[in-house]
Structure 1
Amino acid sequence: MSRRSSRPARLLACALAAGTLLATAACSDGDGGDGGDGPGSAARQAGVAEQNEAAQTPSGSPTGSPSASPSALTESGAKTALLTEADLEGDWNQVEDADKWRDRLLVGEVDVSDFLTAKSDATDCQALLDALYGDDLLGDPSGPSALTGFEQGDSRLLEQVAGYDRGGLDARMKWLRTLPDTCDEFTATDSGGEKRTVQVTEASVPDVGDAREGLHVTVRGTSDSTPVTLTLDVAAVRVGTSALTVTGGGLDSGETAIVEQAVRQGTDRLKTVLDGGTPSPLPGDVD
Structure 2
Amino acid sequence: MKVPTGPSGPYRLLARALTAGVLVSASACSLHGVLRPADAPSVERPATSATPSLTDAQASAALITQGELGGHWSATQGGATWRDGLLKTRTDAPDCQRLLDGLYAEDLLGEPTGARAVVGLDESGNAAQLRYQVAAYAAPSEVDAKLAWLRTLPSKCAQFTSTDVRGGRLNVTVVPSVLPGVGDAREGLRLTMSDASAANAGDGSGAAPMLTLDFAAVRVGDRAVSLTNGGLGGAAQDSTQQAVQIGTQRLQDVLAGRPPTTAPVEPTTRPVNPTTAPVKPTTRPVNPTTAPVNPLTGRPTEPLTESPADTDNTTADTADTADTADTADTADTADTADTAQEG
TM-score, scaled relative to structure 1: 0.66
Q: Which has the higher strand share?
A: 1
Counterparts in 2 of 1:252 and 1:96: CA distance versus 1, 3 Å: closer
- Report runs of 4+ in structure 1 exceeding 6 Å deviation: none
Instruction: Note the 1:1-287 alignment, pairs <5 A.
Output: 72-95=53-76, 97=78, 102-110=83-91, 112=92, 122-153=93-124, 154-166=127-139, 167-221=141-195, 229-279=210-260, 282-286=263-267, 287=270
Name the CA distance, whole Å, in 1 between partners of 2:85 and 2:106.
13
Counterparts in 2 of 1:77 and 1:96: CA distance versus 1, 3 Å: farther
Cα displacement (A) at 1:279:
2.5
The one-letter amino acid of 1:163's match is: A
What's the CA shift string for 1:253-276, capped at 9, x where partnerless? 222010100000100111111112
RMSD (Å) for aligned C-alpha atoms? 2.4
The one-letter amino acid of 2:233's match is: D
Name the CA distance, whole Å, in 2 between partners of 1:172 and 1:193.
31
8 Å CA contact 2:176–2:189 kept in 1: the answer is: yes
Cα displacement (A) at 1:160:
0.8
Q: Which has the larger radius of gyration?
A: 2
The one-letter amino acid of 1:206's match is: P
8 Å CA contact 1:99–1:148 kept in 2: the answer is: no
Cα displacement (A) at 1:96:
6.4
Cα displacement (A) at 1:103:
4.4
Name the CA distance, whole Å, in 1 between partners of 2:105 and 2:115.
17
Q: Which runs of 5+ in 2 are unaligned?
A: 1-51, 197-206, 271-343
Percentage identity across paired residues of the two chains: 44
Name the CA distance, whole Å, in 2 between partners of 1:96 and 1:139.
26
8 Å CA contact 1:187–1:196 kept in 2: the answer is: yes
**Corresponding residue SS for 1:109:** coil
8 Å CA contact 2:253–2:261 kept in 1: the answer is: no
Name the CA distance, whole Å, in 2 between partners of 1:279 and 1:219.
37
The one-letter amino acid of 1:137's match is: L
Counterparts in 2 of 1:98 and 1:81: CA distance versus 1, 3 Å: farther
Name the CA distance, whole Å, in 1 between partners of 2:225 and 2:65.
14
What's the CA shift string for 1:97-139, capped at 9, x where partnerless? 46999442111111x3xxxxxxxxx111111101111111211
TM-score, scaled relative to structure 2: 0.56
Counterparts in 2 of 1:97 and 1:125: CA distance versus 1, 3 Å: same
How many residue pairs match? The answer is 205
Name the CA distance, whole Å, in 2 between partners of 1:101 and 1:181.
26
8 Å CA contact 2:119–2:131 kept in 1: the answer is: yes
The one-letter amino acid of 1:243's match is: A
**Corresponding residue SS for 1:214:** strand
8 Å CA contact 2:192–2:209 kept in 1: the answer is: no
Cα displacement (A) at 1:161:
0.7
8 Å CA contact 2:137–2:143 kept in 1: the answer is: yes
**Corresponding residue SS for 1:87:** helix
Q: Which has the higher contact order (CA 8 A, sep 6+)?
A: 1
Cα displacement (A) at 1:236:
0.6
Counterparts in 2 of 1:98 and 1:229: CA distance versus 1, 3 Å: closer
